[in-house]
Amino acid sequence: MPEPRPVPVSAPPGAAVRRRRVLLAGGAIVAVLAVAAGVLAVGGWTRSRPRQAAASASDGLRHTSVEVSPGGCGRGWTRPEPGKQVFDVRNTSGGAAEVFLTDAKTGAVYAEVEGLGPGAVRRMPVTLGSGSYAFKCVPDDADAVTGPTVRITGGTSTGPAAVPVTQQDLIPAALAYQKWIQARMADLVKRTDVLRAAVDRGDLAAARAAWLPAHLVYERMGAAYGTFGDADAAINGTTAGLSGGVRDAGFTGFHRIEYGLWHGESAHGLRGPADRLDKAVRALRDSWPQQRMNPADLGLRAHEILENTVQFELTGRTDYGSGTNLATARANLDGTEALLGYLRPLLKTRDTGLPELDSWLDRTRRTLDACEHGGRWTPLSALDRTQREKVNADLGGVVERLADVAVLTDIRRTA
């Protein structure tokens, strides 16, 4: 799997694209309007995307203009009422700021506007129930300011919001995940040794049999690729960006050997690439104890692993002859679930969509497992239309729900 890239991924063919409303438990706030209004609905709050939207009452909702400034955070909200409404958040200060609608007692966040520039207006659509609320304004270069507490009575009862995640919250998960990766290294070295030994003795049939088990061990380590640095390109690089394509000297690692094994290259020609892969894997194992993952990356990586699977594996862009993209997708799913296991204590109190995500993970696991028969994986090209649409839709559905994890575990400055 290539190093995660910040490239938007369009929905795969057959995937259902949802524009959903998210109801918090207890009914305190409903995230509405989603993408069209520049607000991303997630399991714990609504997050406004960095797009300006002018105040308008043409949507039939009650609009309230709210000021964002160090001396007037939340100013303008003078007639609090329950129900569906829109805050037109206006930055009257001279610098950019983030704005949160919070539970006045706990600081838990119901809705968010990011990167609101000076003079800009952004819509924050919500449905409010009984409770105490306050706007928090966080200027880029100044301390956070909390506006006055606003109390609402009537409507639905207050439900849970998502408490912002801190760097300290994520450190235990990052350390535990690093240890999990370390435990995988021994298996990676062992299986790569088997592959290299088969190539060395000229047994290409054995090398083809050994290639996939070794490659899948690496593919399960998806959240650590950013920390692997240059080692990732040496171990699992593709021909992307290489002017010489498969003949380029910079094409190394598992996919270089895959190409040779499934395109009639001799054992003699593959010994050099196999040796270099073995050395790169051992070097990674030896250097890993000194590496430190950035805790802030964990939630984003949980989303990116399968986002990249959709982008690279389901399109066949990383198939160099073995036809095992679906096996790689299954390993990527394993890697995602392993990382989610370490994030789960934080998500249980923040992501109301976690049971739904788990259901989609189970569904996708069953779909991919149905593509394996006696140790052989169905190539993408051999899937019929119904199978292809199901694979695409299930993985696309998981990726969409993992976006909530990335948002909810994003570290926010609230002070």
Both tokens of 109, joined, read 């966040």
Are 100 and 111 in contact by the 8 Å Cβ rule? The answer is: yes
Are 183 and 118 in a shared domain? Answer: no
DSSP state of 386: H
Whether 11 is in a domain gets the answer no
Residue 291 located in a structural domain: yes
DSSP 312: I
- What's the domain count of the chain? 2
Question: Is residue 16 within 8 Å of residue 395, measured between CB atoms?
Answer: no
Q: Show the DSSP H helices in 220-244 as ranges.
A: 225-228, 230-236
Plot region of 12 (φ>0 → left; ψ -120 to 50 → alpha; else → beta): beta
pLDDT string in tens for the chain (415-residue length): 443 333 222 333 333 222 222 222 222 222 222 222 334 445 555 666 544 344 455 678 999 999 999 999 999 999 999 988 999 999 999 999 999 999 999 899 989 999 999 999 999 988 889 999 999 999 998 999 999 999 998 877 655 578 999 999 999 999 999 999 999 999 999 999 999 999 999 999 999 999 999 999 999 998 888 899 899 999 999 999 999 999 999 999 999 999 999 999 999 999 999 999 999 999 999 999 999 999 999 999 999 999 999 999 999 999 999 999 999 999 999 999 999 999 999 999 899 899 999 999 999 999 999 999 999 999 999 999 999 999 999 999 999 999 999 999 999 887 7
Where among 128, 152, 176 does a domain terminate? Answer: 152
pLDDT at 25: 25
In a domain, 19, yes or no: no
CA atoms of 173 and 346, how far apart (whole Å): 9
CATH code, 354? 1.20.1420.20
Residue type, 313: E
**Residue 405 pLDDT:** 95
Three-class secondary structure of residue 41 per DSSP: strand
Residues 178 and 87 both lie in one domain: no
Regarding whether 345 and 275 lie in a shared domain, the answer is: yes
pLDDT value for 49: 53
Q: What is the model's pLDDT at position 46?
A: 62
Please state, as a whole number, how many other Cβ atoms lie within 10 Å of the Cβ of residue 333: 25
Residue 248 and residue 139 share a domain: no
**Do 252 and 276 form a contact (C-beta atoms < 8 A)?**
yes
* pLDDT reported for residue 157: 61
Beta bridge partners of 123: 88
DSSP label of 29? B
d(CA 363, CA 178): 28
Predicted local confidence at residue 6, as pLDDT: 30
pLDDT at position 225 is 85
Structure token digits, residue 151: 């109390």
Q: How many Å apart are CA 335 and CA 216, to the nearest integer?
A: 10
Q: What is the pLDDT of residue 45?
A: 56
Do 193 and 342 reside in the same domain of the chain?
A: yes
Token pair, residue 140, equals: 């880029």
Q: Kindly state whether residues 213 and 125 are assigned to the same domain.
A: no
Q: How far apart are CA 124 and CA 122, in angstroms?
A: 7
Whether residue 137 is found in the same domain as residue 182: no
pTM of the model: 0.83
Please give the Cα distance from 303 to 401 (Å, whole number).
8
* Confidence at residue 11, expressed as pLDDT on a 0 to 100 scale: 32
> Per the domain annotation, does 157 fall within a domain?
no
- One domain, residues 112 and 211: no
Is the same domain home to 368 and 259? yes
Say if 92 falls within a structural domain. Answer: yes
Is residue 159 in some structural domain?
A: no
Assigned domain for 270 exists: yes
Ramachandran category for residue 124: left, alpha or beta (phi over 0 → left; psi -120 to 50 → alpha): beta
Question: What distance lies between CA 151 and its chain's CA centroid?
Answer: 35
Note the pLDDT of residue 9: 29
Q: What is the pLDDT of residue 28?
A: 28
205 and 128 in a common domain: no
Segments forming the whole domain that contains residue 180 = 167-408
Distance CA 130, CA 82 (A): 7
Contact 303, 403 (CB under 8 A): yes
